């Protein structure tokens, strides 16, 4: 079985979206209309076996089967009511028929008015004519049980009721705008809304914005929310330094329910014409997309052809076996600087090109993959580029048998490292281990023993060097801690205050490993508190650090006794070394310090809206800070927040970052992002935008200034139009 694609279509490939393109609530001035729910009942709406109540000014019973009410007629079942001038109920078939001033209201707050209606009461299967409908949002935990927000409204010639949550309309209009606002109107030959799944399906669809037709769909399936699918999309336009004026007219192609494509021709007045295309697919066991763009003879790039390509695929072969592919490529190292607006993408040094298979069951976890990179940073020499893994096989086996509570497992890896300019070859890594967990309410104790074996089969080694070195080392550790707690109070509220001391001891004997190559190994930095509680001070298998050390840590928490919310957590720790550390990476040096840097970490909710976090790595010997991070966040809701961050790494980074989103009027919103380098006295990234909320549509515009990898500066201007609940058109230029 194939599934229909129902995700919002992302226009553009490497042209990424601005950070503020989020699912934010409407501004205060755009609160949806309120629909009143019927009075609460002891049973939920739609439950089976509820009694039926009949009322009317005049009640007539025809035999034992038909009851007819006239004048203020009403049929009530639980929280569902049907009113009209005349209502007939058929006991034999459990059907109701009504005419004249009909109103049907569900327990959720949906309201339907019609000239005629007939349906089965228990199943809600039937039909109605000349319908006006108001659909309520299905809030699981409504703030007011007697009220619901309007989700959508419209009119139809005919409505077919196909259950409590499913309705099919013919010759229908649909809008998410409030009553009296018809800025965005959808008309369709047929529309099916399934409130249970949150999906809508429409045929022969036209969308009008401000009474101007802007979209057409032969057939679409879409979430009943603020996402969309499209035919011809809203034009993308803007201005970009070094590219000139940019205009794109995307065209969406609904190939099939589970296949679609978007073709995006772009005109750069200073560069030429670029053609981009995205193809997406979705099946029962797989999903993925292919994106490519091509600009021939870029006049700003020595008339060279420029292109980008992305292919991503996820496959579920069986419940235990899956696979994925991620291949990204660009024609040159400056491509992202010229065509991407996302600082995270444009600052990338390498693009992944990988494919992998993963098998999981109760015992085994096996992963096989090939992994290569494309360098997109002209500051990285070819010699310094990372190794390709062609292929790599990882496996973990957990022994199900647990004698005396002992747990056993084996981790292994076999990988072929390939490089054009360096030593290459195969590496096998195997680590059997055994451990025992003793857990109580007052503490824990976990001893562990392992053997780490690593062997190589190398090519391109220097004359006289061993081409098959190996290493085997035992790894012993004990992790233990205690939990103390007491009742406390803060600002008059009851809290549980904890103290959690922790000791982590590691012993690994020293062994000379200078004859081993360095394929993918780096020494761990203590820029994260959890890194102090690792057995090996190296990432990767090429080095196992000698260790005779203990990490001493202390964590304290303040936990709300009423709801379990953690308001504060602070941790301090330090590693104490009993011997010098002689295993190094080249060129390296023997470490003789008796202690590590002092580490401290804190996270706190200052109030319901203010939170803060910080991290400190302090060098006691040199009396200076190695790493520091401080974050202060003020957040009322997803629309109103200010996030300020300071980052410091000695001799490397000192930056201040700001992200903010805040209303500046009933329908206007300000959006800001800033990254400032104190070390360079320069703004690295600035983004300033405004948003206007038309209640059932939004328009955003923002400008951007960004320092590129070659230290030049690029400016851009971007526009975005969103039809809330129906369609979104995003432009990244």
Question: Residue 196, SS3?
Answer: coil
Rg, the chain, Cα only? 32
Please report, for the chain, the start and end positions of each structural domain, with discontinuous segments joined by +.
Answer: 28-223
Gap between the Cα atoms of 66 and 90, Å rounded: 5
CA 459 to chain CA centroid, Å, is 42
Q: Which residues of 640-663 are buried (b: 16+ CB within 10 A; e: fewer)?
A: beebbbebbbeeeebbebebbbeb
Question: Residue 484, SS3?
Answer: strand
Q: Where are the beta strands (DSSP E) in 460-509?
A: 470-482, 484-490, 493-508
Gap between the Cα atoms of 330 and 305, Å rounded: 11
The contacts of residue 638 (CB under 8 Å, 6+ apart) are: 22, 23, 24, 25
Residue 135 near residue 37 (C-beta atoms within 8 A): no
What are the contacts of 574-578 at 24+ separation with CB within 8 A? 574/532, 574/598, 574/599, 575/532, 575/549, 575/550, 575/551, 576/549, 576/550, 576/551, 576/552, 577/548, 577/549, 578/548, 578/549, 578/550
**Beta-carbon neighbour count of residue 602 at 10 Å?**
16
CA 116 to chain CA centroid, Å, is 46
Domain 28-223: give its CATH code: 2.60.450.10
SS3 sequence of 578-596:
CCCECCCCCCCCCECCCEC
Distance (Å) of CA 187 to CA 89, 166, 177, 222, 387? 34, 19, 14, 15, 56
Of 720, 729, 730, 710, nearest to 346 by C-alpha is 710
Q: Where are the beta strands (DSSP E) in 146-269?
A: 147-162, 166-174, 184-194, 199-209, 212-223, 236-240, 244-248, 251-256, 259-268
pTM: 0.68
The contacts of residue 108 (CB under 8 Å, 6+ apart) are: 37, 45, 136, 138, 148, 195
What's the token pair of residue 99? Answer: 């005419």
State residue 28 phi and psi, 5-degree precision.
Answer: -55, -30
Which regions of the chain are under pLDDT 50? 1-28, 41-47, 225-231, 343, 727-733
Residue 37 near residue 79 (C-beta atoms within 8 A): yes
Residue 288 near residue 321 (C-beta atoms within 8 A): no
Q: What is the pLDDT of residues 621-647, one digit of tens each?
A: 889 999 999 999 999 988 899 999 999
Of 35, 41, 91, nearest to 62 by C-alpha is 91
Gap between the Cα atoms of 599 and 605, Å rounded: 21
């Amino acid at each position: 079985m194939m599934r229909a694609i129902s995700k919002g279509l992302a226009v553009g490939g490497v042209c990424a979206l601005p950070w503020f393109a989020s699912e934010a609530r409407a501004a205060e001035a755009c609160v949806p209309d309120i629909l009143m729910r019927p009075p609460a009942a002891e049973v939920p709406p739609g439950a089976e076996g509820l009694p039926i109540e009949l009322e009317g000014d005049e009640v007539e019973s025809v035999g034992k089967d038909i009851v007819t009410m006239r004048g203020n007629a009403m049929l009530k079942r639980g929280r569902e009511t049907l009113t009209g001038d005349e209502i007939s109920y058929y006991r034999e078939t459990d059907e109701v028929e009504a005419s004249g001033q009909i109103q049907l209201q569900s327990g959720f707050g949906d309201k339907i008015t019609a000239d005629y209606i007939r349906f089965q009461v228990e199943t809600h299967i039937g039909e109605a004519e000349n319908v006006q409908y108001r659909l309520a949002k299905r809030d699981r935990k409504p703030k007011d049980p007697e009220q619901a927000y309007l989700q959508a409204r419209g009119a139809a010639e005919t409505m077919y009721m196909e259950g409590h949550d499913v309705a099919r309309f013919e010759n229908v209009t649909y809008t998410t705008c409030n009553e009296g606002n018809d800025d965005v109107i959808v008309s369709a030959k047929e529309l099916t809304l399934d409130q249970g799944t949150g999906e809508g399906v429409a045929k022969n669809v036209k969308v009008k914005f401000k009474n101007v037709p802007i979209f057409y769909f032969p057939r679409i399936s879409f979430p009943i929310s603020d996402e969309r699918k499209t035919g011809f999309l809203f034009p993308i336009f803007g201005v970009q330094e070094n590219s000139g004026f940019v205009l794109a007219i995307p065209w969406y192609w609904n190939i099939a329910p589970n296949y679609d494509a978007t073709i995006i021709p772009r005109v750069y007045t200073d560069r030429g014409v670029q053609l981009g295309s995205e193809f997406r697919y979705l099946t029962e066991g797989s999903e993925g997309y292919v994106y490519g763009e091509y600009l021939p003879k870029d006049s700003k790039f020595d008339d060279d052809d420029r292109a980008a390509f992305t292919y991503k695929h996820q496959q579920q072969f069986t419940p235990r076996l899956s696979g994925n592919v991620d291949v990204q490529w660009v024609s040159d190292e400056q491509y992202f600087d010229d065509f991407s607006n996302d600082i995270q993408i444009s600052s990338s040094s390498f693009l992944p090109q990988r494919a992998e298979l993963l098998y999981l069951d109760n015992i085994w976890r096996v992963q096989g993959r090939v992994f290569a990179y494309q360098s997109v940073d002209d500051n990285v020499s070819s010699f310094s580029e990372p190794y390709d893994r062609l292929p790599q096989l990882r496996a973990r086996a957990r022994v199900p048998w647990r004698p005396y509570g002992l747990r056993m497992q084996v981790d292994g890896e076999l990988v072929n490292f390939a490089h054009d300019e360096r030593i290459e070859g195969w590496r096998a890594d195997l680590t059997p281990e055994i451990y025992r967990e003793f857990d109580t309410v007052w503490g824990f104790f976990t001893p562990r023993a392992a053997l780490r074996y690593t062997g190589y089969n190398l090519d391109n080694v220097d004359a006289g060097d061993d081409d098959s070195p190996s290493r085997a080392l035992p790894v012993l550790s004990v992790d233990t801690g205690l939990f103390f707690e007491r009742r406390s109070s803060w600002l008059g509220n009851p809290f549980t205050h904890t103290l959690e001391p922790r000791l982590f001891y590691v012993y690994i004997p020293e062994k000379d490993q200078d004859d081993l190559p360095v394929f993918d190994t780096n020494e761990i930095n203590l820029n994260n508190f959890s890194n102090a509680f690792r057995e090996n001070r190296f990432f990767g298998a090429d080095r196992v650090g000698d260790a005779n050390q203990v990490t001493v840590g202390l964590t304290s928490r303040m936990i709300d006794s009423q709801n379990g919310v953690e308001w504060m957590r602070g941790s301090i720790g330090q590693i104490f070394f009993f011997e010098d550390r002689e295993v190094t990476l080249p060129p390296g040096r023997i470490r003789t310090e008796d202690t590590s840097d002092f580490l401290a970490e804190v996270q706190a909710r200052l109030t319901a809206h203010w939170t803060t976090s910080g991290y400190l790595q302090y060098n006691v010997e040199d009396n200076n800070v190695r790493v520091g991070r401080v974050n202060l966040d003020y957040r009322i809701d997803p629309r109103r927040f200010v996030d300020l961050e300071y980052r410091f790494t000695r001799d490397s980074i000192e930056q201040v970052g700001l992200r903010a989103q805040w209303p500046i009027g009933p329908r206007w919103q300000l959006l800001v992002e800033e990254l400032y380098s104190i070390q360079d006295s320069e703004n690295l990234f600035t983004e300033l935008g405004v948003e206007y909320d038309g209640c059932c549509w939004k328009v955003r515009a923002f400008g951007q200034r960004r320092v590129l990898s070659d230290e030049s500066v690029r400016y851009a201007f971007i526009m975005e139009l969103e039809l809330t609940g129906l369609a979104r058109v995003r432009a990244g230029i």
